[in-house]
Amino acid sequence: MCIRFFYCLNRLESTENDYHPSCIHHRCCRHGFPFSEAFAAAPEKKNIKIAVGGQQLVYYLPLTIADRLGYFRDEGLNVSVIDFQGGSKSLQAVVGGSADICSGAFEHTVIMQTRGQRMQAFVLQGRAPQCVFAANLHTMKNFRSAKELKGKRIGVTAPGSSSQIMANYCLKAAGIKPNEVSIIGIGSSSGAIAAIRSGQVDAFVQLDPVISMLMEKKEIAIIADTRKVAESDRLYGGPMVAGGPPHPGLNLVAGCLYAPESFIRKNPNTIQAITNAMVRADKWIAKATPEQVVKVVPSRYFMGDKKLYIQSFLSNRPALSRDGLIPAKAPEVAKHALSTVNPQIERARLDLEATYTNRFAAEANKRYR
């Protein structure tokens, strides 16, 4: 019999009479476990390593909530989250076999297919990239336009990450080629702030809470802001997309969990369990108060300012997924955005439908409403 069944029984604190099926059904549901879930198939692989690039970012809040509230454990999993402080590094951990799953940007699934390595996203964390491209007023006091960035130093969380993709995308719109700037990896937390304040970069792409902290002290000038879904839609879904016509309503989705196709095929019950935990976290975040959120996340995420972290959460919550489902047009938009900085992707013959699946998230939404 499934481990989930015994887990529910252990949570009941009941007498022998409570083990009657009708009692179990009532009490499992009362404790937050649908009765059908008690009989869900056990995970094929229980010890899972998830690589992430900057877990303290609001971008990855669903992963943090699922981990901190014990949702993975509730699904019969023992999950270790390993932070690499950059999306490209966490991707490499999965490619190299030191992690099973990556918590990273959706567009990595498109990029990896062009390299002959099929990755598949299975649950969404963010409806918009939540990245901000900004000028550093410590080195560019009289900044007026992105056109001034030619020949400058551009900070990204890590070279090759989604933050660099956004930087290249915005620079191209300003008429600047990737080889006309210097790309510098500065991480995604206190190290990034130190690099910006010490003048190591002239402009950069970062996420919250870093952005909110720098905005508070008026240290930056925002060039492009994708924390709001509407603004992200204008950036990635408008005329800038591959130099083509507008695509209203299309957006470049953001953080997700993805894994090698082969891993998903071999471990469908494990993937379902992980997705259940993530969708449950999505639902919790959608209803939680800021006070509840700050009680759950580690205090180091505040970087010394809890009030600003709350502000960051409220600014980004609309861009977080509420159901984990990946929009059908997500691969198309990702390919268009990537093509503006890498023409080879536009010409590549890709199976875009293979970059994601909603099979697991759809099932999870039946369990957690």
Q: Please tell me the predicted confidence (pLDDT) of residue 235.
A: 73
Contacts of 30 (CB under 8 A, 6+ apart): none
Neighbour order of strands in the sheet with 220-225: 182-185, 153-156, 203-206, 132-136, 220-225
Whole-number Å distance between alpha carbons of 135 and 231: 18
Candidates 162, 208, 192; CA nearest to 320 is 208
Contacts of 287 (CB under 8 A, 6+ apart): none
Which amino acid, residue 157?
Answer: T
Domains of the chain: 41-129+254-367 (3.40.190.10), 132-225 (3.40.190.10)
Neighbour order of strands in the sheet with 47-52: 78-83, 47-52, 101-105, 255-260, 119-124
Q: Please tell me the predicted confidence (pLDDT) of residue 253.
A: 65
Q: What 8-state DSSP symbol labels residue 182?
A: E
Contact 230, 322 (CB under 8 A): no
In order along its 369 residues, the chain shows pLDDT tens digits of 344 443 443 433 333 333 333 333 333 443 344 444 444 789 999 999 999 988 888 989 999 999 999 999 999 999 999 998 667 789 999 999 999 999 998 989 999 999 999 999 999 999 888 889 999 999 999 999 999 999 999 999 888 777 888 898 899 889 999 899 999 999 887 889 999 999 999 999 998 889 989 999 999 999 999 887 777 777 776 322 223 333 334 456 678 999 999 999 999 999 999 999 999 999 999 999 999 999 999 999 998 999 999 999 998 998 899 999 998 888 888 888 788 667 788 888 999 999 999 999 999 999 998
Contact 134, 213 (CB under 8 A): no
Candidates 218, 226, 193, 189; CA nearest to 53 is 189
Whole-number Å distance between alpha carbons of 188 and 158: 9
Q: Please tell me the predicted confidence (pLDDT) of residue 6.
A: 39
Q: Please tell me the predicted confidence (pLDDT) of residue 237.
A: 63
Q: Please tell me the predicted confidence (pLDDT) of residue 17.
A: 33
Contact 246, 237 (CB under 8 A): yes
Query: What are φ and ψ of residue 359, in 5° steps?
Result: -55, -45
Half-sphere exposure of residue 77: CA atoms within 13 angstroms, side-chain side: 27
Q: Please tell me the predicted confidence (pLDDT) of residue 85.
A: 66
Quickly tell me which residue has 């995420």 as its tokens: 301
Whole-number Å distance between alpha carbons of 14 and 66: 27
